[in-house]
Chains A and B, each alone.
Chain A
Amino acid sequence: MKEQQDESILKTSSLSVIFSKKQVLSGVDLAFAHRKITSVIGPSGSGKSTLLRALNRMTDFVPEVQVEGDVSFKGHSIFDDQVDAADIRRRIGMVSQNSVVFRKSIFENVAYGLRIKGSHDSGRIEHQVAESLKKVHLWDALKDRLDHDASDIGREQQQRLCMARALVLSPEVLLIDEPTGDLDSGSTNRIEVVLRELRDERTIVIVTHSLHQAARISDKTAFLHFGKLVEYRDTRRFFTNPVMKLTEDYLTGRIFGDER
């Protein structure tokens, strides 16, 4: 079941992804709502991370991958021959699960994307790095330590640093795989606050294994079960009144994902 009254700049149509003969996603149709947080949930192996990776063509780097269907960003297919995949990745930013900070300074970590893009204006870079760090609430904490090694800061701050890394390119979409993975509740809370603030200017899609988190912060929820989209609705109605039996079974714990 889908509800599409929201503005959407990122859509998939009949998206299927096959990794060396193994079908990971089958015919997924999703229009992600702009200025909203969408969470993608489902048991392990449902293809949630693959969906995310297909959205910014990170699947290009998997050997022997087959992609069927389409993903369109602002009306144009991202798989077109004319399209510059790197440009897509800058406009559809991603923070992956357990992201690793570069072995550089905090400043250089955030500035990395800008330098790759070819930016040479150090004044502008400094400004953009500062703005980005402010967005993730790290500026005050780190502004005097920008030249320190990025691995010196704690796990949760590193996660936010990775978000700043992606944000510095001003992406219109932000994809995050497990934003708070194995962090404790205090850290989780800090990151969720940031996510809510970021929503105002972007499409945000998160993959999360935590139903609680999905219920807490997302506006829309999509349920993937073994590569197929089962249900996609406003979060509140998704959780209180699921339409599909499969969804209900999953939410109530009757199925866990080992079954087929």
Chain B
Amino acid sequence: MIRQTDSPGDTLIGAVLFVAALLAAAVSLSLIGLLAAGSIEFFREVSLFEFFTGTVWNPLFFQKQFGILPLVTGTLSVVIIAVLVSVGPGILISIYLSEFASDSLRNIMLTVLEIVSGIPTVVYGFLTLFWATPVLKKLVPGLPAFSAFSVGIMTGLMVLPVLIYLWEAVISSVSDRYRQGSLMLGADRMQTLFRAVLPAAMPGLLSVLILAIIRVIGETMIAVIAGGQKAEFGFDFLAPIQTMTAFIIQVGMGDFPPDSMEYQGAFAIAGVLAVTTMSLSLLSRYLRRAFSERSGR
């Protein structure tokens, strides 16, 4: 950009734009500040140690206990199942669309995937109750109506379109010359794919996976509708669970006064969620950058 002294019109416009940016930042900062303040309030009453290591979460009953671990295992169970369900088919479909499918099939599928990825999670919540649970009950007899299993599978399906679409973009962005370089040395297409293209795409692939995990962690409606809202520590996938997000909804929908422990508990959980997703987000960006730099883009 050429640097020059700004005309008065420019300065005025610049000022207006700056104010807008300031406003946006101010709102974000006040939300973060609120989060921090609320969490601090909470930790005045509950020790950090109990919070992070306690295995009982009982904020809504008489004998309140605030160990976060049941909520953590709840969320983690969903993440594990969702990742297991979506990664395999996801990578296979992305590879297929990028390397083997015809141009028209690829374009149609990518458009469809991008559109489908906009379906709101509440719809998936509905589908969990009326599609997933009946289907899964046939696979796993004795599956309760609410379980981590149903929630995990449906969340995995929810995240699949985005995963495929973004992974395909990463794989496609490995240049054709890269592939040709491998083929010229006597490799066939499969060898080129697994020994040259995919290893080169790895940072980008991981970056996208982390984005998907962020989505899964932040997912609420499926867990609320089909999870059972029961905070139990442990990894029994066939049991009901409560995720961190589901707990926050529970508090938000109830009528708890702002100075109640439940309300402040929600702040603390929201704080943990915020820190987790923000760190993962930074990690994803870092990996994305590593990927782009190495490919010289």
Q: Please list the residues of chain A having a beta carbon within 8 angstroms of any beta carbon in chain B.
A: 56, 58, 61, 86-87, 89-90, 93-96, 98-104, 112-113, 115-117, 149, 151, 162, 165-166, 169
Contact = CB atoms under 8 A, between A and B. Distances in A.
Interface of B: 175, 177-178, 180-188, 191, 195-196, 199-200, 294-296
Contacts of A117: 186
Contacts, number: 68
Nearest to B200: A103
Given A96-B181, A151-B294, A162-B181, A113 B199 contact: no
A58 B185 CA distance: 10
Contacts of A86: 186-188
A151 B188 CA distance: 24
Given A102-B182, A116-B191, 18 more contacts: A58-B183, A58-B184, A61-B180, A61-B183, A86-B187, A86-B188, A87-B186, A89-B185, A90-B186, A93-B185, A96-B180, A96-B181, A113-B186, A116-B182, A151-B294, A151-B296, A162-B181, A166-B185
Nearest to A101: B181
Contact of A165 (B175, B185, B296): B185
Contacts of B188: 86
21 contacts: A56-B184, A58-B183, A61-B180, A86-B186, A89-B183, A89-B184, A89-B186, A90-B185, A95-B184, A96-B177, A99-B181, A100-B175, A103-B199, A112-B195, A113-B185, A116-B191, A116-B195, A149-B294, A165-B185, A166-B185, A169-B186
A86 B175 CA distance: 21
A169 B185 contact: yes
Most buried by A among B177, B180, B186, B199: B186
A222 B188 CA distance: 31
Contacts of B185: 89-90, 93, 112-113, 116, 165-166, 169
- 7 smallest beta-carbon distances between A and B, as pairs: A113-B185, A90-B186, A86-B186, A103-B200, A89-B186, A116-B187, A94-B184
Nearest to B202: A103
B184 A96 contact: yes
Nearest to A102: B196
A124 B187 CA distance: 20
A115 B186 contact: no
Contacts of A94: 184
A95 B185 CA distance: 9
Contacts of B195: 112, 115-116
Contacts of B184: 56, 58, 89, 93-96, 166
A99 B186 contact: no
A211 B185 CA distance: 29
Nearest to B177: A100
B16 to A, nearest CB: 44
A104 B188 CA distance: 19
B158 to A, nearest CB: 32
A4 to B, nearest CB: 28
Query: Which residue among A104, A112, A149 has the maximum number of chain B CB atoms within 10 Å of its CB?
Result: A112
Nearest to A116: B187
Contacts of B296: 151
Contacts of B186: 86-87, 89-90, 113, 116-117, 169
A101 to B, nearest CB: 8
A12 to B, nearest CB: 19
B199 A58 contact: no
Contacts of B187: 86, 112-113, 116
Nearest to B191: A116
Contacts of B182: 102, 112, 116
A72 to B, nearest CB: 19
Contacts of A112: 182, 185, 187, 195-196
A247 B183 CA distance: 35
Contacts of A58: 180, 183-184
A207 to B, nearest CB: 14
A94 B187 CA distance: 13
Contacts of B294: 103, 149, 151
A101 B295 CA distance: 10
A93 B187 CA distance: 12
Given A87-B186, A116-B191, A100 B199 contact: no
Contacts of A165: 181, 185
A125 to B, nearest CB: 14
Given A86-B188, A115-B195, A116-B191, A100 B183 contact: no
B183 A104 contact: no
B178 A102 contact: yes
A7 B242 CA distance: 79
A210 B33 CA distance: 65
Nearest to B196: A102
A89 B294 CA distance: 27
Contacts of A93: 184-185
Contacts of B191: 116
